[in-house]
Homo-oligomer: A and B are copies of this chain.
Amino acid sequence: MCGTDAPDAAAGPVSNGSHASKANPASSPYQNVNDFISNVARFKIIESTLREGEQFANAFFDTETKIKIAKALPVSSPQSYEDCKTICGLGLKAKILTHVRCNMEDAKKAVECGVDGVDLVIGTSSFLQKYSHGKSIAIIKETALEVIQYVKSQGVEVRFSSEDSFRSDLVDLLTLYKAVDQAGVNRVGVADTVGGATPRMVYDLIRTLRGVVSCDIETHFHDDTGCAVANAHSALEAGATHIDTSVLGIGERNGITPLGALMARMVVTAPDYVINKYNLKALKEVEELVASAVQINIPFNNPITGFCAFTHKAGIHAKAILANPSTYEIIDPAIFGLTRYISINSRITGWNAIRARCEQLGLKMTDDEVKEVTAKIKQMADIRPLAIDDTDSILHSYHIELQKKQAQQV
């Protein structure tokens, strides 16, 4: 049950704030991110596909799958003690953290795994105090301080997080965080465990907390009400330093802030920082790996990698996009190693559009081959309406045929 600090893993040249120079030349007071407290241009990611992600309904990761995902991230961790040791032994360029309940027994096991850091977590909402662990805030504080002292004495990093923070009493929360900060934790965590927080609630709580603790602030957002990406952004604006993500957002219920969607958000807010720090071209592959491991489809509406994320259909949009892609595109697909697609109703599709789609799909064909498959598509479209999926299937199967023919000729 570990997560990996991807940014420390993937750190590269960083240029903070310089995208301000790319701001719209028109007056636009809403785009300024140079607020002294904002971390939007220096955030870090806690990649927890192998911790939160394993709580996803379909996830049953075996050790081999975990290692594969850990290497692709370049990040992560295992559910069991043994898996955790194996991952630690991989020597990945990432910090390995385990996520345990805030008690001495769990903390000792975590330290024995040889991890770089221990994440302590305890429920602080009245719901969790009553129906989960049954402990009062006074007891939680006392236990936390003991466990923190032990972990620190072992030379290991320690984070303390409340669970269901947004339904916890504010005074309780601030009292706890202040005490653990003074006890020397490396980081405190705020969690929207039930996914009910709004961006303004997040901004206000993190902004308040930023004035109470001096350590780093990690945030964890569930997506039950569709706000997990926006809440992460608001948290960074308010001074949070770290965001928990998982690939495709897989996690308990409908999941948490997805790594890819957060990259889409942050590359718009702080393009230089994100482009220089992360290998964005690896996103599609790791999403496909995880989707396959947990047997799900990449959602049609996924930012960046959804099958139509860079597809433009309306005539008026298509015209302007051809003149200047920025008219209807806030993200250049090339940054993620992808290409845009101007959709044309299949019955009237031209071979130039089909050639563009082949390039997008990575299918190499000569112009004559593209013309031949375009004719096939038009033929099909006269019989029944074709969706992009259908067209793609025809292109893929035509491409496989081509490869077979070439193999026979060799």
Asked if A231 is at the interface (CB within 8 A of a chain B CB), the reply is yes
Q: From A84-92, A180-188, A384-392, give the one contacting chain B.
A: A384-392
Asked if A72 is at the interface (CB within 8 A of a chain B CB), the reply is no
Q: Is the CB of A308 within 8 A of B56?
A: yes
Q: Which residues of B contact A25 (CB under 8 A)?
A: 126
> Nearest residue in B to A314 (C-beta to C-beta)?
B55
Asked if A261 is at the interface (CB within 8 A of a chain B CB), the reply is yes
Q: Is the CB of A128 within 8 A of B258?
A: no
Asked if A24 is at the interface (CB within 8 A of a chain B CB), the reply is yes
**Can you spell out 17 A-B residue pairs with CB atoms less than 8 angstroms apart?**
A24-B125, A26-B167, A29-B170, A57-B313, A58-B389, A196-B268, A200-B203, A224-B268, A225-B303, A226-B265, A230-B230, A230-B231, A252-B312, A253-B312, A254-B300, A297-B297, A299-B300
Q: From A2-10, A142-150, A276-284, A324-332, give the one contacting chain B.
A: A324-332
Q: From A110-118, A315-323, A362-370, A395-403, give the one contacting chain B.
A: A315-323
Q: Which residues of B contact A327 (CB under 8 A)?
A: 125, 127-128, 131-132, 164
Q: Is the CB of A264 within 8 A of B170?
A: no
A268 to B331, CA, bound (A): 31
A299 to B364, CA, bound (A): 30
Q: Shortest CB–CB separation between residue A124 and chain B, in angstroms?
A: 10
- Quick one: given A226-B258, A301-B249, A343-B57, are A326 and B265 in contact (CB under 8 Å)? no
Asked if A194 is at the interface (CB within 8 A of a chain B CB), the reply is yes
Q: Which residues of B contact A326 (CB under 8 A)?
A: 127
Q: Is the CB of A262 within 8 A of B226?
A: yes
Asked if A195 is at the interface (CB within 8 A of a chain B CB), the reply is yes
> Nearest residue in B to A132 (C-beta to C-beta)?
B320
A329 to B30, CA, bound (A): 34
Asked if A27 is at the interface (CB within 8 A of a chain B CB), the reply is yes
- Quick one: given A252-B312, A252-B313, are A319 and B57 in contact (CB under 8 Å)? no
Q: Is the CB of B230 within 8 A of A198?
A: yes
Q: Shortest CB–CB separation between residue A258 and chain B, in angstroms?
A: 7
Asked if A295 is at the interface (CB within 8 A of a chain B CB), the reply is yes
Q: Which residues of B contact A262 (CB under 8 A)?
A: 226
Q: Shortest CB–CB separation between residue A128 and chain B, in angstroms?
A: 6
Q: Is the CB of A58 within 8 A of B387?
A: yes
Q: Which residues of B contact A323 (CB under 8 A)?
A: 131-132
A363 to B324, CA, bound (A): 53
Supply 10 further A-B pairs (C-beta < 8 A) apart from A24-B167, A253-B309.
A55-B317, A56-B308, A57-B311, A58-B300, A58-B388, A131-B327, A164-B327, A223-B301, A224-B331, A253-B310
Q: Shortest CB–CB separation between residue A293 and chain B, in angstroms?
A: 11
Asked if A275 is at the interface (CB within 8 A of a chain B CB), the reply is no
Asked if A11 is at the interface (CB within 8 A of a chain B CB), the reply is no
Q: Is the CB of A28 within 8 A of B169?
A: yes
A261 to B224, CA, bound (A): 8
Q: Is the CB of A294 within 8 A of B57?
A: no
> Nearest residue in B to A386 (C-beta to C-beta)?
B60
A26 to B252, CA, bound (A): 26
Interface residues of A in 17-46 (CB under 8 A from B): 24-31
